[in-house]
């Protein structure tokens, strides 16, 4: 995979690059703010940040069409922002407030949006994989031409239900893109210590599911791969696997000191492969934007995130009656 300065030239438009820059920066700044609010005690429990992995969801959302579905694990803030869910609603859910997307009852790991076709936010490692195939099953049953992006990590890739799902998804030609976000660590266990084969995407071969590895630090590579996968699924050929090689800069959750890797390893990734810096360089080198243009975007994003944080602090805690609602439909 290419180092930062040698990114291949593409014919991507300046507007599109700016959009990628904006969307990835929103996730980055949102997550930094979430970390800050966590440190202040405003966010409790588990909080898994997406910093470093921004290119994965932003690239794949660029390959999606209106009506396509997405489902992921508990590291879900980036996915929600990338599919257009309101940053204030997400942040207010993190602070457990009435204005949160789940009215404060789901928290960081359990958020949903019917409107944006986002089906969670699941706290049990690997559970979202059959659920995502089930969404695709419903789409196929309803013959609506939709595709489901089912995200899971290199850790979840060792759950048995993933392979039960691969089998049925292939057997029934379900229109599902399995996106393995390989950030190289299953909590604190490096991939080499948890996974018998280095290339997880090849595990679909046993079920006849095509797959490929993708540079997950390069949003353009992710988008291109996403388009191939979606075209495959939408044409009725069944599931497709993308193993997107990425990296999380922060610990597994807020309380993870990340002693299982060196500071140099993280710094090297940040300085050489950062997905946002790559797009920033493309914008500047390609004369699509000036430093001042980017400062304007930076300011816009900062304002959005600050507004979200303000909303999440000012929204009241849920009314006590909420304890007893939404148990039965």
Partner 1 sequence: MATEILMPALSPTMEEGTLAKWLVKEGDTVNSGDILAEIETDKATMEFEAVDEGVVGKILIAEGTEGVKVNTPIALLAEEGEDLSALEAAPAADAGAEAAPAAVEAPAPVAAVAAAPAAPETDTSPDWPEGTEVVQTTVREALRDAMAEEMRGDDAVFLMGEEVAEYQGAYKISQGLLEEFGSKRVIDTPITEHGFAGIATGAAFGGLRPIVEFMTFNFAMQAIDHIINSAAKTLYMSGGQMGAPMVFRGPNGAAARVAAQHSQDYAAWYMQIPGLKVAMPYSASDAKGLLKSAIRDNNPVIFLENEILYGRSFDVPKMDDFTVPFGKARIWREGTDVTIVSFGIGMQYALEAADKLAEEGISAEVIDLRTLRPMDLPSVIKSVMKTNRLVTVEEGWPQGSVGSYIASEVMQQAFDYLDAPVVTCTGKDVPMPYAANLEKHALVTTDEVIAAVKQVTYR
Contact set for partner 1, span 238-267 (CB under 8 A): 249, 251, 254-255, 257-259, 263
Stretch that binds partner 1, among 27-35, 57-65, 188-196, 223-231 (CB under 8 A): 27-35
Stretch that binds partner 1, among 6-14, 54-62, 217-225, 321-329 (CB under 8 A): 321-329
- Provide long-range contacts, Cβ within 8 A and 24+ apart, for 113-116: 113/80, 113/83, 113/85, 116/80, 116/83, 116/84, 116/85
The site that binds partner 1 (CB under 8 A) totals a number of residues, namely 72
Residue 129 contacts partner 1 per CB under 8 A: yes
Residue 8 contacts partner 1 per CB under 8 A: no
Nearer to partner 1, 45 or 198 (CB): 45
Containing 152, the helix (H) or strand (E) segment is: strand 148-153
Residue 119: HSE in the Cβ half-sphere, 13 Å Cα cutoff: 19
Spatial distance between the Cα atoms of 116 and 24, rounded to a whole number of angstroms: 18
Residue 130 contacts partner 1 per CB under 8 A: yes
Burial pattern 310-321, b for ≥16 Cβ within 10 A else e, equals ebbeebeebeee
Stretch that binds partner 1, among 58-66, 94-102, 221-229, 277-285 (CB under 8 A): 94-102
Tokens 């440190």 -> residue: 39
List binders of partner 1 among 64-83 (CB under 8 A): 69, 71
Containing 214, the helix (H) or strand (E) segment is: strand 211-215
Nearer to partner 1, 88 or 132 (CB): 132
Least Å distance, CB 257 to partner 1, is 4
If 0-12 CB within 10 Å is exposed, 13-18 middle and 19+ buried, where does residue 93 land?
A: buried
Least Å distance, CB 251 to partner 1, is 8
List binders of partner 1 among 186-245 (CB under 8 A): none
List binders of partner 1 among 108-127 (CB under 8 A): 110-114, 119-124, 127
Nearer to partner 1, 190 or 319 (CB): 319
Residue 106 contacts partner 1 per CB under 8 A: yes
In the list 65, 164, 300, 303, the residue contacting partner 1 (rule: CB under 8 A) is: 164
**Which tokens go with 71?**
């489902």
Cα torsion 314, 46, 25, 72 to 10°: value is -110
């Amino acid at each position: 995979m290419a180092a930062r300065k040698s990114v291949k030239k593409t014919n991507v438009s300046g507007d599109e690059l700016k959009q990628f820059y904006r969307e990835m920066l929103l996730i980055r700044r949102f997550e930094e703010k979430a970390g800050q609010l966590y440190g202040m005690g405003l966010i409790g429990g588990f909080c898994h940040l997406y910093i470093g992995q921004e290119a994965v969801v932003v690239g794949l959302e660029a390959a999606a069409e209106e009506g396509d579905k997405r489902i992921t694990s508990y590291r879900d803030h980036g996915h929600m922002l990338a599919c257009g869910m309101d940053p204030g609603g997400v942040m207010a859910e993190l602070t457990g407030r009435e204005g949160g997307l789940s009215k404060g009852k789901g928290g960081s790991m359990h958020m949903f949006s019917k409107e944006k076709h986002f089906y969670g936010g699941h706290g049990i490692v690997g559970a979202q994989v059959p659920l995502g195939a089930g969404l695709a099953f419903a789409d196929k049953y309803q013959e609506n031409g939709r595709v489901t992006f089912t995200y899971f990590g290199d850790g979840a890739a060792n759950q048995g239900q993933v392979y039960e799902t691969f089998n049925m998804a292939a057997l029934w030609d379900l229109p599902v893109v399995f996106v393995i976000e390989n950030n190289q660590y299953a909590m604190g266990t490096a991939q080499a210590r948890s996974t018998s084969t280095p290339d997880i995407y090849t595990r679909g071969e046993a079920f006849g599911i095509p797959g490929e590895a993708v540079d997950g630090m390069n949003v353009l590579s992710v988008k291109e791969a996403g388009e191939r996968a979606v075209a495959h699924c939408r044409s009725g050929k069944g599931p497709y696997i993308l193993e997107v090689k990425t990296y999380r800069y922060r610990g597994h959750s807020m309380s993870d000191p990340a002693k299982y890797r060196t500071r140099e390893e993280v710094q090297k990734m940040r300085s050489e492969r950062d997905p946002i810096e790559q797009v920033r360089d493309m914008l500047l080198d390609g004369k699509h934007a000036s430093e001042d243009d980017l400062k304007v975007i930076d300011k816009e994003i900062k304002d959005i995130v600050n507004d979200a944080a303000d909303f999440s602090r000012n929204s009241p805690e849920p009314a006590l009656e909420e304890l007893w609602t939404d148990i039965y439909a």
